[in-house]
């Protein structure tokens, strides 16, 4: 029933790009994705509860879970049923490097995870949790050490309004379709999802672009004008080459080139 | 990959209650469902494009489809791919008496069905289409003869923003969880979803309640007060019995009784 | 505990202006009220379930009720408690010419009145019901004959989310403060609330303005330009006097004049 | 100060396509525009106050006006100032065939035009008025005969919250950029804006597509399946040719073909 | 005219539970309240302007005030009228331990309190101010020392849009009904309102639950799984007893038990 | 094509008031503006990405730019076209003391400026950037040193949804009309726009009011009541005079006095 397709080959490929991908800001990656026609890779409004810090980037494999509105009245917690409840199976099956993505329809009136589940997600080795909805125990979650991205806080438990229905299937994360096995790139500006092959593209071409942007920022901060440096004209491209030994990639590439 | 469980037994049960269920307004059914603790059976804001008319009720078996936000750039329509596209497979597998329910995340900027798909849904014998999102060709759809419930109209096709991902799986219909095989009851006030056993309960107990409500409305329209008639006190319950030969059911039943 | 102050004197004053006030459109009345500095007399988004028809205007005395979000779990309907429940006391105390205004916080997920309460409100002689929230049984309500203005429809009863708390006290009607004893003026564009003395002002000065507007509309429909007729310059004011025997009031009066 | 560029050549071109363009539904035109990469041609949520009727389409040249939030306190209407007020200059300069498009920021609390301005807009020969905001006197406007599209109704005049600032300049119409001299196509599904050259493309290619869609709808209504007819496979394309003598255009054209 | 019922007995009861209640997080308290069927105890989106800090909880008696939209034009401040203006009477009648709760309809365009009123509320001994609406002077308020919860900031004074109407009456606080004399529990996750008897229940049963949650969090942080510890099975409940000497309360109690 | 009227005289006037204006909080200035009937001077919801700090105020001349929704498909960046693109011309024409105000329709899905444009805006000597819409590279922008106010963050570049259309023309900044050459006053509560003559009024009268407010705050913090001090009665006004040597201005001035 899972749509997650992942084997040693995918693992190897992710390991190979993890560091490079983490050197690219979500802003730069988003620009490259849109140039590919991927308009909707960003999970809008899902921001970290606590700032990660400039330059900190999270990379991981998406594991997905889905909630829908509750139908039946809530019943007392049944430990046996809970053992096979989709969100618990998902959490207990997380592997190091995963980023758990929960689609809770953006509902702001029920907290999907609290401090204990956050601690367990961290304990399983996950890199982050992203909730399209609310979290509870937010003051405690900030202490747990797991980066948690969410749309809202609400002290009630998820069962007030929602029930888990399945996991490792396609979901909606605040306007972004996420498939299990997608690669997530996140920083203080939020999170992006993309398939492994696009992640490889970003890891291959994002760093040179990031480097160029940093160089331009420095030039502009030192008084350079947009006309000269952003994008660099031929003269400034040569300056870039002379100073860094690198070819300046196009700031806004032609779609066919990428 | 479908979650639809439906056989001759279910069909027989639905046939047995179809007429009784259709005699109950969504308002009365909703009241009974909430008394059972089913708070979220109503699909909020999904209303018929064209009025059905007072007393017209639609009953059918839910067939579900789901869209998510588009990832890849749109490509020209490929007839082979379309043949196995989830929304087409779903439509072409509809059976008489079905009500197709499409979760398009409530997105108002892309029309999920237009006049041609509406015509085909009708041609397959479906009773209605309910779209958690927008429809296009709304002026034409009104002529097709299929009752269509939606949240918005937008002239663009679905591919502007959305792609179909699966069918006959649990979905969100504007705050209501719908499972394939649910029973839908709809009228000009909108649509409810419930499992077959609850539908049987509503079919069994709704009509007597509806009859009482109509009797009360007549009494009140003739000058009766709320104090006397709504709910009827013992004297008025006797009057009801005398006039109709029927026992007055409790207007607001105790949860344990139902 | 009621804030309603109303006696024979107020009744006489209302009777005296009822017809004149009903000859003024809400658009003209709203303009005059704003010229007085009354910016917030309009109940935004509360529109009639069924069109009243061009020129039909409703005038009545405001009777107010208020709901808040439910705290305690809902219990079975207790006829004794219901007898003193604020919304029932309010309805059963309505007098001919009243317009019942219910503040339900704009909540769209619970219907405040249905067909039976609408029938009773009509039976008590009320002119209209205005609900800052939802109504249920909307298809039936349209048949009852009582003009009902609301923000939404929802099949559930009010108790799903709300409880009545008091009546004949100041309330919020979709951005408009309404006091018990206010005068309501409503047509297909919606409803306005104002105190009796302002209603007298509108009744005194609105009709001449309405007459002028109709004359202007006729002139413009016949080809007159805005420059000449809207507002009328001295020559066109003379034309108005010549044709109608009436002095043209200022279209946009100076505040101190009114 | 106007950005409107329009001469006899443009007029001739518009006259040449007016009838063909009016034979294309907004749904079909929208599809073709998106295939060109024009995602945002639709004015979302601006719908006609009164239904135009199936098949009625409006075509005209866009004349644009813009309001911003009021800064200064409102002063009594000054006839001299009004004569040069942008919205009045715009209205009095309308020419037959124009469609006036007013960007009022979508503000729902002040009516931009009422019955008199509507009558004058009609008197100037305009085809329709489209308001990104509210209108007042809506019950009367429906009688005037001018098709008026708007987002809301509110009885107050525009000056409650807004002031006109300029005209015949680029504006935002509910998510659609409109330039003066754009061609507007509108029906009961709403309105689209596009430059003249794209309008010519739609007029040239829309009708054959509309014809094919109608033929498909007929086939599907008679029991044809989506697989066979939508889009038509080679056999059904031949059937179309045999029955109509026309080549079937691609339902979803390759971008490079158009 | 006040609905506040509070005497030495209530004061004694509050004193008795204050410390225990303050040891319970809003998340834990909210869970217990929902288990009692109190779904709507949380004031959604009303968060502290400045973080209180992990573990800081505020407990106090609710004193309520209510604003509605302004009707009349604003007049210069009249010191005599102000003396009896409801919001001033309320503030000047605050007693140590009170939490002032102001329902300003959630209006984001007018600040209900600024730095001076905040300083006075603190001066009266109040524990916190919670505003269902906006506050002004937010940068200064953060310096005052009074915890202030609000939905928005806006530099204008309340009179731009609102007027106070009454105090110590039932109000709506962002989806939560609050009665004067309710007990408020607030921390960085927001604020809950409940009657004194429920507060006593939370004070009696919340701490043991909080203690268990902390114990579970520790176990899970040390590598324990959800299956074993959340909720604890019999073996882990015994471990809890052995380590802490305490009986583990049910994490999700059966409704009838509480 | 620019509406900016600014010469040595205006510059001199701004220099003359800059320090005094910066000593007035936006809350105090907003109050004075509303007393003049300027209700809409505040840009709602546009807050600094990083706190400025208590007492830090920004004053500058408004330079305005405007975006609308994108029509044509995005094309690769053309350095020549970019040179005359309105937003680039605007940025490269900024002068020391300017505050750049960009109306991007409030669209939250495309970042108008990132770190490089922020660096250049700072490099041109501008005081701040205010975006009615989103910014990208927000983590980096916080490091640049330019105060940036915005409604949202989004990693994509502006071209995802928007295109620049003109500059130095009237714009809408989140409910506030801003003209080029307006004076902007901003602090951690947000930003106000006003013409130079009103800015002179605020600079002349705001400081004495601010001083009084601070004195009142001190008195109230020391235990003074609202009745005595806010506004100060005659006795307390005398106390103010005695302690500070200054006349107490009216807290809420009569409109005609200002």
pLDDT tens, residue by residue, D52-85: 999 999 999 999 999 999 999 988 878 788 889 9
CA-wise closest residue to E103 among E114, E118, E87: E87
Non-local (6+) Cβ contacts of A255 within 8 A are A35, A36, A37, F76
**C-alpha to C-alpha distance for F194 and C35, rounded to whole angstroms:** 24
What is the pLDDT at residue F256? Answer: 42
Q: What region, left, alpha or beta, does residue F53 occupy, with left being phi > 0 and alpha being psi -120 to 50 degrees? A: left
E169: distance to nearest CA of chain C, Å?
A: 10
- Any chains having at least 3 CB pairs less than 8 A from chain C are B, D, E
CB of E183 closer than 8 Å to CB of E193: yes
Q: Which residues of E touch A138 (CB under 8 A)?
A: 188-189
What mean pLDDT comes out for the span C105-124?
A: 98
Distance CA A179, CA E8 (A): 61
Please indicate whether, in this complex, the C-beta atoms of B116 and D213 are within 8 angstroms of each other.
Answer: yes
Structure-token match 């219990």, residue found: C75
Q: pLDDT tier at C145 (50, 70, 90 boundaries)?
A: very high
Among A76, A109, A140, whose Cβ lies nearest the Cβ of E44?
A109
Q: Which residues of C197-209 are buried (b: 16+ CB within 10 A; e: fewer)?
A: ebbbbbbebbbeb
pLDDT at C1: 57
Average pLDDT over residues F217-241: 94
Is pLDDT of E253 > 70? Answer: no
A257 min Cα distance to partner chain F (Å): 11
Helix and strand tally (H, E) in chain C?
9, 10
DSSP 8-state assignment for residue C232: B
D227–B92: do the CB atoms touch at under 8 Å? yes
* C and D: number of Cβ contacts within 8 A: 101
Chain E residues with CB-CB distance to A108 below 8 A: 44-45
**pLDDT of B94-153, one tens digit each?**
999 999 999 999 999 999 999 999 999 999 999 999 999 999 999 999 999 999 999 999
Residue C130 has pLDDT above 80, yes or no: yes
Residue with structure tokens 């609406």? E133
Helix (H, G, I), strand (E, B) or coil at A60: strand
- Out of A79, A116, A136, the one facing E233 most closely (by C-beta) is A79
Please report, for residues A10, A98, A184, D59, D158, the alpha-carbon distance to residue A196 in angstroms, rounded to integers and kept in the order given.
8, 14, 9, 48, 54
Which of these, F149, F137, F180, F174, lies nearest to F58 by C-alpha position? Answer: F149
Tell me what percent of the residues of chain D surpass a pLDDT of 70: 97
Q: Using 50, 70 and 90 to split pLDDT, how confident is the model at A77?
A: confident
Q: Are A165 and A171 in contact (CB under 8 A)?
A: no
- The answer to whether E137 and F220 are in contact (CB under 8 A) is no
Q: Which residue of B has its CA nearest to C152?
A: B45
pLDDT attached to residue D224: 96
Read off the pLDDT band of F1 (50, 70, 90): low
In degrees and rounded to multiples of 5, residue C213 shows phi and psi of -60, -40
Q: Which chain A residue shows the shortest CA-CA distance from B176?
A: A69
Contact A82, A171 (CB under 8 A): no
Is the CB of D73 less than 8 angstroms away from the CB of F165? no
Cβ–Cβ pairs < 8 A, chains D and F: 56
Q: Decide if pLDDT at E12 tops 70.
A: yes
Q: Which pair of tokens denotes residue D201?
A: 């493309």
Contact D44 B154 (CB under 8 A): yes
| D112 → chain C, closest CA residue | C27
* Cα–Cα–Cα angle for B169, B171, B174, rounded to 5 degrees: 165
The pairing of strands C98-103 and C58-69 is parallel
Average pLDDT, chain A: 94
Find the CB nearest A69 among B68, B105, B177: B177
Residue of D77, D142, D153 with shortest CB distance to C251: D77
pLDDT digits (tens, 9 = 90+) for B204-221: 999 999 999 999 999 999
Judge whether residue B257 has pLDDT over 70. no
In the predicted model, is pLDDT for residue A80 greater than 90?
A: no
Beta pairing partners, B99: B62, B128
Does residue A256 have a pLDDT over 50? no
Confidence of residue C19 (pLDDT cuts 50, 70, 90): very high
pLDDT of amino acid C201? 97
Contact D139 C189 (CB under 8 A): yes
Q: Does the beta-carbon distance from B77 to D250 stay under 8 Å? A: yes
* Ranges under pLDDT 50 in chain D: 253-258
**Chain C residues bordering chain D (beta-carbon distance below 8 Å):** 25-27, 29-31, 34, 39, 42, 44-45, 47, 54-55, 187-190, 192, 213, 216-217, 220-227, 230-231, 233, 250-255
Task: Using alpha carbons, select from C253, C220, C193, C223 the residue that is nearest to residue C30.
Answer: C193
Residues in chain A: 258
State pLDDT tens for residues E156-169: 999 999 999 999 99
Token pair in block for residue F36: 């003049």
Euclidean distance between CA atoms C173 and B73, whole angstroms: 46
Query: C26-35 and C196-221 helices cross at what angle (nearest 10)?
Result: 120
Residue F251 is predicted with a pLDDT of 56
Q: What CA–CA distances, in Å, run from B95 to B11, B100, B126?
A: 11, 10, 6
Structure tokens at B2: 């479908």
User: Distance (Å, rounded) from C-alpha B127 to C-alpha C156?
Assistant: 24
Partners of C139 on chain B (C-beta within 8 Å) are 25, 54-55, 187-189
3-state secondary structure of B47: strand
Check the CA dihedral D98-D103-D108-D114 and report its sign.
negative
- Cα–Cα distance, D53 to D186 (Å, whole number): 12
More confident residue, A254 or A85: A85
Residues of E in contact with F226 (CB under 8 A): 82, 88, 91-92, 116-117, 120
Cβ distance of E139 and F189 shorter than 8 Å: yes
Residue of F nearest to A34 (CA): F160
Which of A155, A156, A158, A162 to substitute to test the interface with E, most E CBs within 10 Å?
A155
**Considering only CB atoms, which chain A residues are within 8 Å of F156?**
27, 30-31, 34, 42
This model of the complex carries an ipTM of 0.95
Please give the Cα distance from C212 to D155 (Å, whole number).
Answer: 17
Task: Please give the Cα distance from C91 to C64 (Å, whole number).
Answer: 10
pLDDT in the model for residue F76: 81
Interface test mutation site (partner D, options F39, F69, F132, max chain D beta carbons within 10 A): F69
Contact (CB<8Å) F225/E155: no
Token representation of residue B77:
């329509």
pLDDT tens digits for F164-198?
A: 999 999 999 999 999 999 999 999 999 999 999 99
* Backbone φ and ψ of D246, nearest 5°: -120, 150
Phi, psi of D162 (to 5 degrees): -130, 160
Query: What band does B78 get if pLDDT is binned at 50, 70 and 90?
Result: confident
Beta-carbon count within 10 A of B138 CB: 27
What count of CB pairs under 8 Å joins B to C?
A: 98
DSSP class of residue B249? Answer: P
Q: Do chains D and E touch (3 or more CB pairs under 8 A)?
A: no
- pLDDT tens digits, one per residue of B11-27: 999 999 999 999 999 99
| C51/C29 Cα distance (integer angstroms) | 20
- List the single residue in A44, A216, A253 with the smallest CB-CB distance to F109: A44
Q: Is the Cβ pair F177, D36 closer than 8 Å? A: no
Cα dist from D183 to A156, A191, E181, F67, F69, whole Å: 53, 40, 63, 21, 17
Per CB-CB distance under 8 Å, the chain E contacts of A109 are 44
Least Cα distance to E49 among E3, E120, E96, E114 occurs for: E114
* Separation between Cα atoms, residue A170 and residue B171, nearest integer Å: 12
Would you state the structure tokens that stand for residue C227, as one six-digit string? Answer: 């420059």
């Amino acid at each position: 029933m899972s749509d997650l397709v992942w084997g040693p080959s995918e693992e190897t490929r992710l390991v190979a790009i993890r560091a490079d991908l983490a050197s690219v800001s979500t802003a730069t990656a988003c620009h490259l994705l849109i140039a590919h026609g991927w308009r909707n890779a960003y999970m809008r409004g899902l921001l970290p509860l606590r700032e990660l810090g400039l330059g900190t980037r999270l990379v991981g494999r998406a594991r997905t879970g889905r909630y829908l509105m509750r139908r039946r009245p809530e019943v007392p917690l049944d430990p046996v049923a809970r053992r096979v409840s989709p969100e618990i199976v998902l959490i207990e099956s997380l592997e190091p490097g995963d980023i758990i993505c929960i689609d809770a329809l953006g509902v702001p009136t029920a907290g999907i995870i609290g401090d204990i589940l956050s601690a367990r997600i961290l304990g399983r080795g996950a890199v982050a949790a992203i909730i399209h909805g609310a979290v509870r125990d937010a003051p405690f979650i900030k202490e747990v050490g797991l980066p948690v991205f969410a749309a809202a806080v609400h002290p009630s438990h998820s069962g007030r309004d929602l029930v888990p229905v399945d996991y490792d299937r396609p979901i909606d994360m605040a306007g972004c379709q996420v498939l299990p096995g997608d690669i997530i790139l996140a920083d203080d500006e939020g999170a992006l999802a993309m398939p492994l092959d696009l992640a490889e593209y970003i890891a291959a071409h994002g760093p040179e672009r990031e480097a160029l942007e940093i160089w331009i920022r420095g030039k502009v901060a030192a008084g350079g004008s947009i006309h000269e440096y952003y994008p660099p004209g031929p003269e400034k491209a040569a300056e870039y080459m002379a100073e860094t030994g690198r070819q300046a990639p196009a700031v806004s590439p032609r779609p066919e080139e990428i």
